């Protein structure tokens, strides 16, 4: 997978994670609170826990749902903004380094790539 394609994939995954976190927070403030509780990260953790009768039970688990939504928002921003930026900066530095090496060797440098791709 190319670096530009990987950056695009991370942007999409980050956007989905951000939307999930924000959507959960919004649903927790509406009449659809139980649906948000049933589809939260806390429910996934509860489902994977092997103890008997471990369920999401409203007010006890609401702080966990809010924390999980916050984690999803943070991770979405991290995946959607920071990681693609690091990939693009690294790609730019590698291209500049190889162009400098090509100029020293006497061969013509490669044309610059389109940064919007």
Q: Model confidence over 83-96: pLDDT tens digits?
A: 989 988 888 888 88
Backbone angles phi, psi at 60, to 5 degrees: -70, -40
pTM of the complete model: 0.69
Residue among 39, 47, 38 at smallest CA distance from 20: 39
| Integer Cα distance of 29 and 61 in angstroms | 15
Is residue 91 one of the residues assigned to a domain? yes
CA torsion, ordered 70, 74, 77, 78, to nearest 10 deg:
-160
Per-residue pLDDT of the chain (117 residues; tens, 9 = 90+): 565 688 889 999 999 999 999 999 999 999 998 888 888 887 777 777 666 666 666 677 788 889 999 999 999 999 999 998 998 888 888 888 887 666 666 666 666 676 665
Q: Is residue 113 part of a domain?
A: no
**Which residues span the domain enclosing 25?**
3-105
- Torsion, CA 63, CA 76, CA 15, CA 67, rounded to 10: 0
111 is a domain residue: no
Number of structural domains, the chain?
1
């Amino acid at each position: 997978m190319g670096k530009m394609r990987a950056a695009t994939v991370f942007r999409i995954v980050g956007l989905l994670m951000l939307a999930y976190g924000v959507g959960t927070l919004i649903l927790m403030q509406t009449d659809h609170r139980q649906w948000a509780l049933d589809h939260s990260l806390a429910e996934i953790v509860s489902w994977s826990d092997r103890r008997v009768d471990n369920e999401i039970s409203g007010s006890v688990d609401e702080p966990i749902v809010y924390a999980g939504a916050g984690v999803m928002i943070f991770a979405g921003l991290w995946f959607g903004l920071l990681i693609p930026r690091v990939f693009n900066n690294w790609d730019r530095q590698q291209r500049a380094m190889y162009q400098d090496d090509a100029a020293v060797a006497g061969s013509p440098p490669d044309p610059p790539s389109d940064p919007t791709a």
